[in-house]
């Protein structure tokens, strides 16, 4: 059976997340416009930095709960990396859709809002109700993807 567009792009996001170097959570993101992939991203450290897989996770060592103290993480989130790739290569994401394997956190939500993305499709939970409030207030369409 042929997958729907949402199924197709979420499956790709699930493949992208396999490149993650995070010890706690693997997340993948795909930015799409007119059913064409513009960029992808996964959570991991900026280029030329040591990966958490290699040196450990400060957040894990300090027992910091998920969704808190983002500043103590070496990694960029998948959404951030996908948006950064678009900026780096001069790709407009105005009016695009982002597919993410977890609900965006507040930091990513603000970047998604500011970037001009018009729709978020996500599949996994994240403990951040404030991000959902901000997304709803912004008028961006947000859809929880339920895998079949």
Cβ 66 vs Cβ 14: under 8 Å: no
Q: Is 77 annotated as a binding residue?
A: yes
Determine the Cα–Cα distance for residues 78 and 28; give it in Å rounded to an integer. Answer: 5
Sign of the Cα torsion 72, 27, 39, 138 reads negative
Helix (H, G, I), strand (E, B) or coil at 36: strand
Residue (of 86, 119, 75, 127) closest to 100 by Cα position:
119
Q: CB of 73 within 8 A of CB of 18? A: no
Is 51 known to sit in a ligand binding site? no
The catalytic residue positions are: 79
Mutual angle of helices 106-115 and 78-88, in 10-degree steps: 30
Residue ranges of the annotated binding site for Zn(2+) are 77, 105, 108
């Amino acid at each position: 059976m042929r997958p729907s567009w949402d199924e197709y792009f979420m499956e790709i996001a699930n493949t992208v997340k396999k490149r993650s170097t995070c010890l706690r959570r693997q997340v993948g993101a795909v930015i799409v416009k007119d059913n064409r992939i513009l960029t992808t991203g996964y959570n991991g450290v900026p280029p030329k930095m040591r990966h958490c897989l290699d040196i450990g996770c400060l957040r894990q060592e300090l027992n910091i709960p998920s969704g808190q103290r983002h500043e103590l993480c070496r990694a960029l989130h998948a959404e951030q990396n996908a948006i950064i790739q678009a900026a780096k290569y001069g790709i407009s994401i105005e009016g695009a859709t982002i597919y993410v394997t977890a609900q965006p956190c507040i930091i990513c939500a603000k970047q998604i809002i500011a970037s001009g993305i018009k729709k978020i499709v996500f599949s996994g939970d994240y403990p951040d109700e404030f991000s959902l409030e901000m997304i709803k207030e912004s008028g961006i369409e947000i859809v929880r993807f339920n895998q079949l």
